[in-house]
A and B are shown apart, each in its own frame.
Chain A
């Protein structure tokens, strides 16, 4: 009989022989933790959800990429994004203009959510990640409220929609190609780069490892 023992000491419940436990968030199966080698992964045997995926030098890489995202999003807001010309007239738009394009009446709500999803939430997320990860990676004790900050960064993750916005640009281009001539501004190329970095950055992030190191250093 090997019931997991409930202990009085703070800290997660352990197996009767002291092994640390991990539960699959998708299907609730529990396992004794086995940390895979760097570059490998640990998968739930029942539902195949990836539970642990450590990467070499993940901390430093995430910090570098997150800094890059912060700079690119900020720059992309102010530089011209797209330019059109038709019948001798032209117009250029920055991300800020696009995000605030719904001005009339109740459509302002769409404007607010567009700004949030393509600028504010991505920036908030990078700020939270830097706040949490920089002390941990440089061997300092975690920042104050690091747990709340990291949890928030996980909750808002689905609402940061930079990569979706980039595909939206492509569709918009085709839609007006017969109406006017289009040119790309510097911000457009920054955005393309940004999409690649966002995807790579998410691949490096192993939430279990971050939680573990936050706990170990507290």
Chain B
């Protein structure tokens, strides 16, 4: 196992090709080449802070303003989920709570943990942290569910005086918080996680890439080619 940096090379993160260390742009895909993204942590923390700041008003102000003939109701994110649970749809209430409370808070904690442990070190393996990073990166987009629900409801429920739903200010701050956190996760250069891992010396021959054959499929004869 040897890294591109130790071999005096630079890898393109966009197309996985390998170039001499002093080359500035990738000859295959045209992306900018950087052995390690030196500004990575600064951008991670900047977007992270912006995301946390937006998340506070997102929970304190109403997300959904519902008017019916007799009532007017302002629902915050958590309030809305509690409302759904009261109607008996505990499962849906859980989906909302997971998507708009657990995932955002979990992401803030996970990104902070990944960024802090780069400097301080940790007992957790690099592979464990890589998996954590991939989960954070994958799951972040799903928090947009709540914003979309508000959009659908406020477009659909416009029945003049009988019932109408309007978006509250939290729709904006929550959407911003999700976007900023996605940008924070994207700024993180996961290669930094692996840098202190144990490596072979630079004189070791390069390994071949491991390949796995296709999983056998019962419905198709083996050895068929296109």
- Residue pair B149, A172 in contact (C-beta under 8 Å): yes
Q: For the complex formed, measure the closest distance between the CB of B134 and the CB atoms of chain A, giving whole angstroms.
A: 8
Minimal Cβ-Cβ distance residue in A for B164: A91
- The segment from B26-34, B45-53, B106-114 found at the interface with A is B26-34
Given the known inter-chain contacts A30-B206, A168-B149, please indicate yes or no for A46 contacting B194, CB distance below 8 A: yes
Q: A186 within 8 Å of B by Cβ?
A: no
Given the known inter-chain contacts A28-B11, A101-B155, A150-B29, please indicate yes or no for A3 contacting B144, CB distance below 8 A: no
* Tally of chain A residues near chain B (CB < 8 A): 92
- Residue pair A12, B151 in contact (C-beta under 8 Å): no
* Chain A 138-173 near chain B by CB (<8 Å), digits 1 or 0: 000000000110110010001101001101110110
- Residue pair B212, A41 in contact (C-beta under 8 Å): yes
Which listed residue (A1, A159, A167) contacts B203, Cβ 8 A? A1
- Residue pair A110, B156 in contact (C-beta under 8 Å): no
Q: B193 within 8 Å of A by Cβ?
A: yes
Q: B153 within 8 Å of A by Cβ?
A: yes
Given the known inter-chain contacts A82-B156, A89-B159, please indicate yes or no for A41 contacting B17, CB distance below 8 A: no
* Tally of chain B residues near chain A (CB < 8 A): 86
> How distant is the Cα of A26 from the Cα of B147 in the complex, in angstroms?
31
- Residue pair B127, A98 in contact (C-beta under 8 Å): no
Q: B79 within 8 Å of A by Cβ?
A: no
Q: For the complex formed, measure the closest distance between the CB of A78 and the CB atoms of chain B, giving whole angstroms.
A: 14
Minimal Cβ-Cβ distance residue in B for A25: B13
Q: For the complex formed, measure the closest distance between the CB of A212 and the CB atoms of chain B, giving whole angstroms.
A: 8
* Chain A 36-56 near chain B by CB (<8 Å), digits 1 or 0: 111111110111100110001
Q: Is the interface of B mostly helix, strand, loop or mixed?
A: mixed
- Residue pair B167, A107 in contact (C-beta under 8 Å): yes
- Residue pair B1, A46 in contact (C-beta under 8 Å): yes
* Chain B 180-211 near chain A by CB (<8 Å), digits 1 or 0: 00100010001101100100001111111111
CB interface residues, B 22-77, toward A, < 8 Å: 27-31, 68
CB interface residues, B 101-134, toward A, < 8 Å: 126-127, 130
- Residue pair B17, A23 in contact (C-beta under 8 Å): yes
Q: A10 within 8 Å of B by Cβ?
A: yes
A167 / chain B contacts, CB cutoff of 8 Å: 142, 145
Q: For the complex formed, measure the closest distance between the CB of A118 and the CB atoms of chain B, giving whole angstroms.
A: 7
B204 / chain A contacts, CB cutoff of 8 Å: 2
A: residues with CB less than 8 A from B are 1-4, 6, 10-13, 15, 19, 21-43, 45-48, 51-52, 56-57, 82, 84, 86-87, 89-91, 93, 97-102, 104, 106-107, 109-111, 113-114, 117-118, 147-148, 150-151, 154, 158-159, 161, 164-165, 167-169, 171-172, 174-176, 178-180, 207-208, 211, 214-215
Q: Which 3 A-B pairs give the minimum distances between C-beta atoms?
A: A39-B214, A23-B11, A168-B148
28 chain-A/chain-B pairs, Cβ below 8 angstroms: A12-B17, A21-B206, A23-B11, A23-B12, A24-B16, A26-B130, A26-B190, A27-B126, A32-B207, A41-B211, A45-B207, A89-B159, A91-B157, A97-B155, A102-B151, A102-B167, A106-B172, A109-B172, A109-B175, A110-B171, A117-B144, A154-B14, A161-B141, A168-B152, A169-B148, A172-B148, A175-B80, A179-B157
B: residues with CB less than 8 A from A are 1-5, 7-9, 11-20, 27-31, 68, 80, 84, 87, 89, 92, 95-96, 126-127, 130, 140-142, 144-149, 151-160, 162-163, 165-167, 169, 171-172, 175, 179, 182, 186, 190-191, 193-194, 197, 202-215, 225-226
